[in-house]
Amino acid sequence: MLDNLKKMIYKYAYLILPICTLLCLAGFIGSYLFPNEVLDTYEVNMKEEEGDEEFVWPLTGAEDEIGYVMETDGRALKGFQIGISKNGAALTGTELIYRVYGLPDEGESMEAVIEKLNAGIETDGLEMLLEKSYDLGTCLDGQYPYLPFDEEGVCKGRLYITFTYQNNGNDEGVLPGIYANHHKVERAASYREGEIVTEMMGGEEAPVMIKHYYIYSHDTYPLLYDCRVLTFVFLAASMTVCYPKMKKKKEGMPDAA
């Protein structure tokens, strides 16, 4: 069977190889025109400084929101990863609700905005860019699940992201929480019920910061390299085929070898 297949391929090599050449050329053009989007994970606050220890910031109720203010790097933020503590429970059906609000950009620096928000932050009057939920039963205790934002890329610029939960009838009696520490993140701040929370660390007051990753994306051209190289590989191979016309010509020549 394998031999028959081999014979057939050899027989039709004069068709197969040029077609493959053209397909690779088409793949090269297509790959260039339709890039593939890749998610990039950026570690923002995952390590504790000396003397600091991570702890769990519990989510105590639907009204009790944990918030985070940040500015994107010019690209749209495609998602967020935060550490979920389930305190050993399964929390099947319990949902983490996350909302993204756009903060008004009046041309001032992000540091100035955060300074201004030190007094507190209200979501009333802010434009809500998206609201989504994540089933906490699907992640492991202590894991940093990916919380996707939107595909269109509206989460851009200065953002206020809030997290709360909805138990949806789950009666395990355990509160989920978010991992946090006291590390300072440039041009960002964490909030609880709209207020910055500070705690004593090493004799000084330090703000609490949730541990997290940012998820951005960029375009790649995964088949571009292959297609452009393979186009010429198949072209080279096509040049070793004895095409039917050439065969006929040779057969017509009495002295042909």
- Ranges within 82-121 binding another protein (CB under 8 A): none
C-alpha dihedral, 170 to 173 to 176 to 182, nearest 10°: 170
- Taking the least distance from each CB to another protein, the nearer of 34 and 104 is 34
Closest CA to 139 of 161, 159, 162, 165: 165
Q: Decide if 192 contacts 201 (C-beta within 8 A).
A: no
Pick 50 or 152: Cβ nearer another protein:
50
Part in contact with another protein (CB under 8 A); list of ranges 115-123, 154-162, 202-210, 213-221? 213-221
Please spell the DSSP secondary structure of 156-195, one letter per residue.
-SEEEEEEEEE-TT--S----EEEEE----TT-EEEETTB
Amino acid at site 108: E
Is 193 a binder of another protein (CB under 8 A)? no
Q: Determine the 3-state secondary structure of 127 from DSSP.
A: strand
Cα angle: 104, vertex 216, 193; to 5 degrees: 45
70 binds another protein (CB under 8 A): no
Q: Which is nearer to another protein, 39 or 62 (CB)?
A: 39
Work out whether 218 is an interface residue with another protein (CB under 8 A). yes
| Pairwise CA distance, residues 89 & 104, whole Å | 39
Quick one: which of 29, 62, 128, 242 contacts another protein (CB under 8 A)?
A: 242
Q: Nearest to residue 157, comparing CAs of 167, 149, 147, 165? A: 149
Rule CB under 8 A: say whether 129 interacts with another protein: no
Among 22, 62, 90, 246, binds another protein (CB under 8 A): 246
Among 106, 219, 251, 255, binds another protein (CB under 8 A): 219
The residue range among 64-72, 124-132, 164-172, 221-229 that interacts with another protein, by the rule CB under 8 A, is: 221-229
Binds another protein (CB under 8 A): choice among 102, 110, 135, 146: 146
- For 117, the token pair is 């928000």
Q: Which of residues 25-54 bind another protein (CB under 8 A)?
A: 36, 38-43
Residues that bind another protein (CB under 8 A): 6, 9-10, 13, 17, 36, 38-43, 81, 139-146, 215, 218-226, 228-230, 232-243, 246
